[in-house]
Chains A and B, each alone.
Chain A
Amino acid sequence: MKKILFIQRRSPYGTGFAKEALDAILMASAFEQEISLVFTDDGVWQLKNQQDTKTLGIKNFSPTFKALELYEVKQIYVEQMALEQRGLQIEDLIIPVTVLATAELRQLIQQHDVILSF
């Protein structure tokens, strides 16, 4: 078994990365590996609650994050500094997460065998 870490760095709708990265996370979950997920930089916006994409004409994929638990993806982290820089708090997020200091994020990366950064 390998430890796979997905790093989400992009805002949800400016590019297609967030959506396609989520597809990869769901696929990886089917391989019964140890999967962790960390949101940093603008990636923290992916978890913002009450997203409304109607005027964008783009599908709101944020409810899919609530399904991650069913896929056994339970280790979900957010970098504290990324939240603070954007005026976000843990209560603003759509799912429960573990908040990490930057040094802890560094450790998390070191602890994994495969890093997929989107």
Chain B
Amino acid sequence: MKFAILINSAPFSHQASDTAYQFCQAALNKGHLIHRVFFYHDAVYIGSSLMCPPQDEPNITVHWQNLAKQHGFDLAICIAAALRRGVLNEQEAKRYGKSSANLAAEFKIVGLGQLVEACLTADRLMVFGG
């Protein structure tokens, strides 16, 4: 089965993004496919490269980067939600005159249409958090 994943909750404050990660791992281990993981609402913070959790705590951003690289699926961040919350790639940082960009590698800033496209392409959408 091909899954699309929507995550709506902030990292650390909520377990949703950890649960989503574990779901994806389990699904991939069973031979299912992940089409795209879409980060919306406060989940866009997961795409910030500036998060520095203590070394003995999991870094959810790095977990997603590794899993996406290994299995070749998209980590898509909603542009409107990301700009509001200060998660910017180089292009957006330049456009808004900000001193730096902070989007983590492997993540892409995309339009909301990519969420709808994922819903239409996947066999099933799984929503985590919110």
Contact = CB atoms under 8 A, between A and B. Distances in A.
A27 B130 contact: no
Interface string A94-118: 0000000000000000000011111
B130 A4 contact: no
Interface string A29-62: 0110100000000000000000000000000000
Contacts of A13: none
A31 B6 CA distance: 18
B125 interface: yes
Contact of A20 (B41, B117, B127): B41
B3 interface: no
A38 to B, nearest CB: 15
B50 interface: no
Interface in B64-82: 80-81
Interface in B1-23: 6, 8
Contact of A118 (B8, B80, B112): B8
A116 B120 contact: no
Interface residues of B, number: 17
A104 B85 CA distance: 38
B127 A27 contact: no
A36 to B, nearest CB: 14
A30 B113 CA distance: 9
B113 A115 contact: no
A6 to B, nearest CB: 11
Contact of B112 (A17, A24, A33): A24
Contacts of A23: 80, 112
B70 to A, nearest CB: 27
Contacts of A116: 6, 119, 125, 127
Interface in B99-121: 111-113, 115-117, 119-120
B40 interface: yes
Given A20-B81, A30-B113, A31-B113, A117 B127 contact: yes
Interface of B: 6, 8, 40-41, 80-81, 111-113, 115-117, 119-120, 125, 127, 130
